[in-house]
Amino acid sequence: MALSPAPVLAVLVGLFHAALFVFLRGRAGGRIVLVACAAILGAWAGDAVGGRLGGDPLRVGDFHVVSASVVAWIGIAFVSVIAILGPATAPEEQE
């Protein structure tokens, strides 16, 4: 079974950007798993977009690093915005 390097590099790039987000922000709270998943999926999707558009100046083999990084940050921003707009705590049950 041969594994393409794209999923492995997407995990590495996504986790790097998720860690950079936590470092810059100072904390991620309970949503660190969501941030990491969004960054990994965004990096994988960004590689696919970069492959279609071409012209990515920084590549590792067939992996498009710049477009993967940009879409990973879009995924992180999406999760952050949803977390801000969502409820801060679960509503208490009424008796």
Confidence of residue 22 (pLDDT cuts 50, 70, 90): very high
All structural domains of the chain with their residue ranges: 5-85
- Rounded to 5°, the CA angle 55-58-64 comes to 70
The pTM of the full predicted model, rounded to 2 decimals, is: 0.81
Number of H helices, E strands in the chain: 3, 2
- 40-78 pLDDT, tens digit each: 999 999 988 888 887 777 777 788 888 999 999 999 999
**Over the chain, what is the mean pLDDT?**
84
Nearest to 51 by CA among 4, 91, 2: 4
